[in-house]
Structures are given as C-alpha cells and as structure tokens.
C-alpha cells in the first residue's frame, strides 16, 4: 500500500446538536480514487470540508501526509491548500463572473505563491481539460455549463495538486455533458496520477471513477470496500436501497 495522503480517525462533527459525522474512519492512499455516497444529509460534504482543512472536528483526528491537521499550524495548512484542490457542484457559483478565465485559473497560483511562469501553466491546464488556451481573456458567462466546469477543474489543477476533491462535480450539468466531464476526470486521474475523492449521488459515476467506495448513513460509515464489491454485493440494506434509488449513468 502507498502512503496515506489524507485520513480521518474516529472523526465526529456536531452542529448544534446534529451529529453530521459520528466516528468516521477513512484513509485515502496516494493515487487511489475513493467515492463517498449516501443520501442527502448523510455527512458527505461535511467530511470533505474536514479533509480540506476548512472545518475542524468536534472530536477525532484528521491527518495530511501523516501530520495531524491543526487550524493553528499555518505551514501544514498552506501545504494542504496547495496539494489538495477542490471542485464544487456548480461552476456558476464557484467562478467569479467578473474575473476572466485566465485570471481565475492563475488566482490560486498567485495566492499560493507558486513559482514559475503562470501564463504558460494556465495554457497547459486549459489544454489538459480540453479547452483552447486562447480562451483566457473571455469570461465565465461566455461558456456553457460543461465548459465552465472544465474551467473550474483547470483552476483546481493549476497548482499541481496530488489530490482532487470533487463534491457532486457533474450533478449541476446537463445530462448530455455529464459523461464528458466524467471521462475528463477519469483521464486526468490516469494521466496525472491524481488521487481522487469524489462525492456523488450517482452510483454509476462512482462505479466508473472510483476504486473504493465508502457509504455514509447518518454520519456513520456503514460500508466500505472495493467499489466493484460494494456495488455488486452490498452488505447493507441501506446500500441496496441507494443502489436501486439512484439514476445510473449508462
């Protein structure tokens, strides 16, 4: 097994009496792809926010490359911010409409003080997501939903992260372009050796992209294992219900 890049050890997160996460253990190894599934409110986004260092657990421990995450350890958080990037559900809200595509993609390079030629890096990641590097002077409104999500993925890739965390990356997109963005994520994973942590309601997408699957129910991990195993032979009635309830991406 490769080194754990991210891990959660008995993590609990309580919001005013709501146990969003309740004793969650999770290990994400370098180069692996992990899908997190569960019904609405099961704690998926809460877990991602903790892995991103955007929130702190009520109890338990998060680790990045073996080091305990602590909101006061600015050095470790800075390394995490660069090495673990995120793509959200809706590129309309994650991309600033007043910022050109080039400026948006270069922004993390600037704020993270990444060395090197930012212009050529922007062109490189635009090509990597299948967009023409000439689009840098245009604005998000000039693109379709699928193209905007490609731009958001390019921005996430710009600082050369090891891990891409994606929270429902295709569910806001037209069904017709979902498969293309899923194929893009799959290609980036294969070509760049990206570690992927993906939340999706669509178990078909998790089946396509993720080697491992974690099933959350009321903030607890109720099932965890190789995706093929979990999908083919779910041990829990809850997982069987999820499998029958969700639309498949065929």
Binding site for ligand ATP (CB under 6 A): 15, 18, 20, 38, 40-46
Q: Which one of Mg ion, ligand ATP, none interacts with residue 20, CB within 5 to 8 A by kind?
A: ligand ATP
- CB contact at 8 A, 105 and 122: yes
Nearer to ligand ATP, 46 or 239 (CB): 46
Q: Which one of ligand ATP, Mg ion, none interacts with residue 46, CB within 5 to 8 A by kind?
A: ligand ATP
Q: Which residues bind Mg ion (CB under 5 A)?
A: 45
State the greatest distance between any 2 C-alpha atoms of the chain, in Å, as a whole number.
53
Nearer to ligand ATP, 20 or 215 (CB): 20
- 28: nearest Cα among 4, 48, 46: 4
- CB contact at 8 A, 53 and 68: no
Q: Which one of ligand ATP, Mg ion, none interacts with residue 41, CB within 5 to 8 A by kind?
A: ligand ATP
Q: Which residue is nearest to Mg ion (CB)?
A: 45
Q: Which one of ligand ATP, Mg ion, none interacts with residue 70, CB within 5 to 8 A by kind?
A: none
- 51: nearest Cα among 247, 248, 222, 214: 214
Q: Which one of ligand ATP, Mg ion, none interacts with residue 161, CB within 5 to 8 A by kind?
A: none
- CB contact at 8 A, 166 and 198: yes
Nearer to ligand ATP, 25 or 233 (CB): 25
**Rounded Cα–Cα distance for residues 228 and 207 (Å):** 7
Query: How would you class 55 by CB atoms within 10 Å of its CB: exposed for 0-12, middle for 13-18, buried for 19 or more?
Result: middle
Q: Which one of Mg ion, ligand ATP, none interacts with residue 240, CB within 5 to 8 A by kind?
A: none
Q: How far is the CB of 166 from Mg ion (least distance, A)?
A: 12
Please tell me what DSSP assigns to residue 55: S
Q: Which one of ligand ATP, Mg ion, none interacts with residue 142, CB within 5 to 8 A by kind?
A: none
Nearer to ligand ATP, 36 or 122 (CB): 36
Q: Which residues pair with 199 in a beta bridge?
A: 36, 167
Residues with Cβ < 8 Å from 43, sequence gap 6 or more?
13, 20, 21, 22, 24, 216, 218, 219
Q: How far is the CB of 60 from ligand ATP (least distance, A)?
A: 15
Nearer to ligand ATP, 246 or 249 (CB): 246
Query: Which residue, chain included where needed, has tokens 């050529």?
Result: 120
* Backbone angle region of 42, left / alpha / beta, with phi > 0 → left and psi within -120 to 50 → alpha: alpha
Q: How far is the CB of 11 from Mg ion (least distance, A)?
A: 16
Q: How far is the CB of 41 from Mg ion (least distance, A)?
A: 8
Q: How far is the CB of 13 from ligand ATP (least distance, A)?
A: 8
Other residues' Cβ atoms within 10 Å of the Cβ of residue 95? 22
Q: How far is the CB of 154 from ligand ATP (least distance, A)?
A: 24
């Amino acid at each position: 097994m490769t080194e754990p890049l991210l891990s959660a050890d008995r993590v609990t997160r309580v919001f005013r009496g709501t146990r969003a996460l309740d004793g969650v253990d999770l290990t994400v190894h370098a180069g692996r792809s992990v899908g997190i599934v569960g019904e609405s409110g099961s704690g998926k986004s809460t877990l991602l926010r903790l892995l991103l260092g955007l929130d702190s657990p009520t109890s338990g421990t998060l680790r990045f490359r073996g080091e305990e995450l602590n909101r006061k350890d600015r050095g470790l958080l800075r390394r995490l911010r660069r090495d673990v990037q995120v793509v959200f559900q809706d590129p309309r809200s994650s991309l600033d409409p007043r910022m050109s595509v080039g400026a948006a993609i270069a922004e993390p390079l600037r704020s993270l003080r990444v060395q090197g030629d930012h212009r050529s890096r922007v062109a490189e990641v635009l090509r990597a997501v299948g967009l023409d590097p000439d689009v840098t002077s245009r604005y998000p409104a000039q693109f379709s939903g699928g193209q905007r999500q490609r731009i958001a993925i390019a921005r996430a890739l710009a600082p050369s992260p090891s891990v891409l965390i994606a929270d429902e990356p295709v569910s806001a997109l037209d069904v017709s372009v979902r498969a293309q963005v899923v194929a893009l994520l799959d290609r980036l994973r294969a070509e760049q050796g990206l570690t992927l942590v993906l939340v999706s309601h669509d178990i078909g997408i998790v089946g396509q992209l993720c080697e491992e699957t974690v099933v959350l129910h009321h903030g607890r991990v109720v099932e965890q294992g190789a995706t093929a195993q979990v999908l083919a032979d779910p041990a829990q009635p809850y997982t069987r219900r999820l499998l029958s309830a969700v639309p498949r991406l065929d």
